[in-house]
Structure 1
Amino acid sequence: MENIIELKNLSKDFKILNKKSGKFSVVKDLFSTDYTVERAVNQINLNIGKGEIVGFIGPNGAGKSTTIKMLTGVLVPTEGTVLVNGFIPYKHRVKYVKEIGVVMGQRSQLWWDLSVEDSFKVMKEMYELSDAEYAENMRIFEEELCISELFDKSVRHLSLGQKMLCEIVAVLLYNPKVIFLDEPTIGLDISVKTKIRKIIKRMNSQQGVTVILTTHDISDIEALCDRVVIIDHGTIIFDDSMNKMKQLVGSERKIIEITTKKVISDELTEKIKGMFTKEHLQINPASNKRMDIICDSGEVDINELLLQIMEYVGIEDINTVGVKIEDIVRQVYEGNLL
């Protein structure tokens, strides 16, 4: 598969001013050269093939947004190289932006005072789309999203869900080679989420659009991505398929959801933790009468575990389920699996 994104030893440093205190400190800071250098992204190497949908995730402050900003040309790397579809983003901004689409948070690319249809027509002219290309793409959007229902509405009067649908249409309208989506479904109901995922999948399969998705909604990752890249402290700690991530916990891993009759004490939690190694068991208190236990059923004596809990606080309800992807990702973030 031909690579469309290539990152080699990519790093980004930020200078943080060490602020003075005391009299005239604000004035002193204006002329100060006393800085601390903090590395937000550290020696990243990453190749992404044409037509891939990649989930790019990590905890807050991990370096996700900084990396995306270098990929889109907003930031200049401190070290290393970044190449997207043959362009160096920060050097070829004018030509490059016609090749990519970006949906980031609440930053809109629609015209606030224009109608939805007029906003799309302005973008058609900006990106020099032919009438035939515009008509074909709008046909697809109409089939999947019934977008014409919103044509006469002013952008300022759209609901959050309607606005995000229009943002996705706007970013796909001019046939970009790569799109960067930052939390595209945050705050949306399941109906709108499903529509957004469906149109992304269709444009990816029909037009080969490469998609880089950053989100904290793991259901988006499961629905759209075959490959997951996890970044933490500016370094990539996982880069493989979704199936491989699930295999990290092993086939015998189970979640036991326990509701107790009495309040769960810290003493009980520590006692249970002491019975088994951290490698085979994690306890996640969900409330004062509820705990989720993730354990390896081949290594942990579940009967003994339940007897200890029953003796201390009693058990009102038990539910055993397979490990959820959210729990896998959280454990990766916490360093329990890698």
Structure 2
Amino acid sequence: MKRLKPFIIGAAGGIFGLVLLPLSGMLPISAVPGPPAIIDWYLNMAAQQSIALRSLEIAVPELDDREKIQRGAGHYEMVCADCHGSPTHPASTLADTLSPPPPLLTERMQQWHPSQRIFFTVKHGIRRTAMPGWPSQMRDDEVWDMVAFIEALPQITPEDYAALTPGDARNDCARCHGNNGEGPLPGVPRLDIQSPAYLEMALKSFRDGMRQSGTMIAASRGLTNTEISELAAHFGRSRDLPPGNETTGAAIARSGIPDRDIPACASCHNSEARAEYPRLAGQDIDYLRTQLELFAEYGAERGGPNAHIMAEIARELSQDDIEALAAYFGR
């Protein structure tokens, strides 16, 4: 015990010093880089090691996917490019005045960390910096789209970037959903098959934080009720599209699965769907699959006024059922 006493005293002194240091006011907290440089080094090292430790067990999906890259590009142009620059335009003047300035990802990505660390940084952000976390912590699919894009960023030419992000800042919706809501990008929902009333309800749910999607929360956050109504009227057309061929999905859609208490999808989602229920026929297959999987995994937390209804149904669906339904209703 006597031999351990110096170590115990030293440990106690170290803990006391860690408590005393912030209380003393001597630890600099200025965002402006400068002396002592060791403080900047210490905080940066702490952040990097924290990210490295917490990203060790993250499984990386296939990222060399044009569709993932394109979905990530649309969100990057809408939210990230003003601070981090893009192949077609530099960072905004405001970003140039920040201290320290945001890194230019067109250059930084050539030296940045493995995919797991990029994912962790994009999803969770970095405390006490301008780097925020993803608006929805349950939408890892969206985060991986962003990782796929920024990993590809150093090789993307201005011409490629322009093709990946058509439109301009006044046309963010059309960049992903098409000029008329026809949904040209796989994994992104069609809007032109929905009623204006449903689109208005969905946009308000995203804006008010009731429904989970980091991409759509960012897109809708600044919209007024009037702007939402105008967008819904423009994109919503209540177009009737025929569903797919006779399959297992058709049987579930028309009759449900009685022994599992799964009702017929058509009872709520047919061409005469009520305003609060979306139409499914002609929707993007990948989008339908993702939404059913989100309901099955997160239940009512997925968000939306009627999420509790779909949560009970989706939990009873097998992955084969989900694939069959997506193939039946999807284009």
TM over 0.5: no
Between Structure 1 and Structure 2, the one with more helix by share is 2
Between Structure 1 and Structure 2, the one with more strand by share is 1
Q: How high is the TM-score relative to the length of structure 2?
A: 0.29
- The structure with higher relative contact order (CA 8 Å, sep 6+) is 1
Q: How high is the TM-score relative to the length of structure 1?
A: 0.28
